[in-house]
Amino acid sequence: MTIAFWCVLVAGFLPYFGTLTAKIGGERFDNSNPRDWLNAQAGFRKRANAAQHNSFEAFPFFAAAVIIAHVAGAPQGRIDLFAVVFILARLFYIAFYVADMATLRSLAWFVGIGSVVALFLAVA
């Protein structure tokens, strides 16, 4: 199992950091209707939920890029490097989103998406 494949596993779990941040300690959390409860939140809980959604959206593109880079025979060191950069960028993205640091959040998003593009270009 390569580092990049482990990163795909980690990326699959990243959205749940946003989920847990939004839900844990929330007043009157309703597990029967968690989406309604989350939609009614404000502040860091609402931002954590938004980070969760964005993380789910980013995952397929990243996972596909890792698999395609492997199949196409890109150098393993590059694949691993870009995969780790993606994970780090997404961790910062979530933290910046929850902390309401919009400019840094956008920068982290661009680094993450740039690493996905780099995975595709690694085979070119």
Q: For 71-85, how does the pLDDT look when each residue is reduced to its tens digit (9 = 90+)?
A: 999 999 999 999 999
Reported as a single tens digit per residue, the pLDDT across 40-98 is: 889 999 999 999 999 999 999 999 999 999 999 999 999 999 999 999 999 999 999 99
- pLDDT number for residue 44: 93
Task: Pick 20 or 89 by higher pLDDT.
Answer: 89
> Structural domain tally of the chain?
1
pTM: 0.94
CATH number of residue 44's parent domain: 1.20.120.550
Residue 98 near residue 21, CB atoms below 8 Å? yes
Full residue range of the structural domain in which residue 43 is found: 3-121
Q: What is the Cα–Cα distance from 18 to 50, expressed in whole angstroms?
A: 8
